[in-house]
């Protein structure tokens, strides 16, 4: 929508407006609540709101685009929550269509809804909350990762899912009172899962070998004692584009490994805990890796020994080791230099 506005210079500073020639271009705000089969939208039109519901598939995306055009929308900032994976195809479509798409942590939207004293929760209401959050917070634009990184992430998560199923079946098999018929079925399933795990591991290795940059990065990360090929693939798949991080602290925050302090006045001083507001797949994958590095990586080992000597709890030490290990991996990847235990300042 274009209109002549004598106050264009002042209003163009607001994220909801941008200048084009001598006119102000309206940037509409679209809140999207995504589910498996459909998504609800709330389009902010000044003081009015337009609601609609679309199927969550390619046809629904095309209908959404037509619905926006009918309302004169040319510039759009869409926002949705990063819940599950149902949002990915829609976000990629909006990005390809030339719109700005933001994908935000659901906790941000929940806190915003609580600040509004929101008492209702439906998909339609949630879409409106997301739209108002987008207008107030102006979240950063989301950019789809390169195809090879997206495929690697899917493979890594598939491998993790198969290993979870394998652990569950092994736990069932350990039941001393298990029926022989059930035991036979579980053993067959475990044999199948074992083959599937090996197949996905081979596919991951082949995929990385087929992309020179990924292969180089894997070789760098596996130079760190305590990190094997499986964890290296996890790091590369879940961290995504390294150029989007400017510091090791940002990487730690992405994994939810930054400390959360609880303090108020002089009387309330809770114990610091992990924020856990971040990528759960990274945290889970780094846990056992940190346990191994605690014994075999010279930097991590010395670091953990200092914390234990200071009386820190074991779980806190492991969490700190996870963050330290991730910091070292980030430093190695950024510097494109293999791990060197004698060059510790690089990993601080």
For residues 254 and 279, is the Cβ–Cβ distance under 8 A?
A: yes
| Crossing angle for the helix pair 280-296 and 298-309, to the nearest 10 degrees | 90
According to the model, what pLDDT value does residue 16 have? Answer: 53
For residues 252 and 323, is the Cβ–Cβ distance under 8 A?
A: yes
Q: Sign of the CA dihedral 295, 296, 302, 304? A: negative
According to the model, what pLDDT value does residue 263 have? Answer: 53
Cα 49 from Cα 30, distance rounded (Å): 10
Six-digit token string for 266: 């002089």
Instruction: Give the H/E segment covering residue 28.
Output: strand 23-34
According to the model, what pLDDT value does residue 3 have? Answer: 33
DSSP H helical ranges for the chain: 8-11, 58-70, 88-96, 106-115, 123-137, 147-173, 180-209, 212-221, 229-239, 248-254, 280-296, 298-309, 314-335
Class at the top of the CATH hierarchy for domain 2-137: alpha beta
Cα 220 from Cα 299, distance rounded (Å): 17
List the chain pLDDT tens, one digit each, 348 residues. 333 333 333 333 344 555 444 445 678 999 999 999 999 999 998 778 999 999 999 999 999 999 999 999 989 999 999 888 899 999 999 999 999 999 998 989 999 999 988 888 899 999 999 999 999 999 999 999 899 999 999 999 999 999 999 999 999 999 988 999 999 999 999 999 999 999 999 999 999 999 999 999 999 999 998 899 999 999 999 998 888 788 888 888 888 887 654 555 555 555 656 656 778 888 888 888 888 888 888 899 999 999 999 998 888 888 899 999 999 999 999 999 999 887 654 444
For residues 339 and 224, is the Cβ–Cβ distance under 8 A?
A: yes
| Residue 86 backbone dihedrals phi, psi, to 5 degrees | -70, -15
């Amino acid at each position: 929508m274009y209109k002549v506005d004598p106050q264009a210079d002042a209003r163009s500073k607001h994220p909801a407006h941008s200048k084009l020639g001598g006119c102000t271009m309206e940037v509409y705000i679209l809140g999207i609540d995504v589910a498996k089969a459909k998504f609800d939208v709330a389009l902010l039109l000044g003081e009015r709101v337009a609601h609609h519901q679309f199927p969550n598939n390619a046809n629904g995306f095309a209908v959404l685009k037509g619905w926006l055009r009918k309302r004169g929308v040319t510039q759009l900032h869409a926002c949705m929550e990063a819940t599950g994976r149902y949002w990915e195809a829609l976000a990629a479509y909006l990005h390809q269509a030339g719109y700005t798409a933001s994908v935000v942590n659901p906790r941000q939207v929940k806190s915003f809804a609580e600040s509004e004293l929101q008492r209702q929760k439906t998909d339609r209401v949630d879409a409106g909350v997301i739209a108002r959050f987008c207008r107030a917070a102006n979240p950063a634009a989301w950019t789809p990762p390169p195809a090879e990184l997206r495929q690697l992430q899917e493979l890594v998560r598939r491998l993790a899912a198969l290993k979870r199923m394998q652990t569950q079946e092994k736990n069932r098999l350990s039941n001393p009172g298990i029926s022989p018929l059930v035991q036979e079925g579980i053993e067959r399933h475990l044999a199948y899962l074992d083959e599937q795990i090996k197949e996905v591991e081979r596919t991951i290795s082949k995929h990385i070998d087929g992309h020179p940059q990924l292969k180089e990065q894997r070789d760098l990360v596996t130079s760190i004692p305590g990190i094997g090929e499986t964890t290296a693939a996890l790091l590369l798949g879940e961290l995504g584009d390294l150029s989007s991080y400017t510091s090791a602290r940002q990487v730690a925050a992405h994994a939810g490994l930054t400390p959360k302090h609880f303090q108020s006045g002089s009387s309330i001083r809770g114990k610091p805990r992990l924020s856990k507001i971040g990528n759960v797949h990274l945290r889970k994958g780094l846990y056992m890796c940190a346990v191994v590095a605690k014994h075999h990586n010279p930097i991590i080992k010395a670091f953990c020994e200092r914390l234990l000597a200071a009386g820190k709890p074991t779980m806190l030490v492991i969490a700190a080791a996870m963050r330290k290990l991730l910091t070292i991996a980030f430093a190695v990847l950024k510097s494109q230099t293999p791990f060197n235990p004698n060059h510790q300042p690089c990993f601080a």
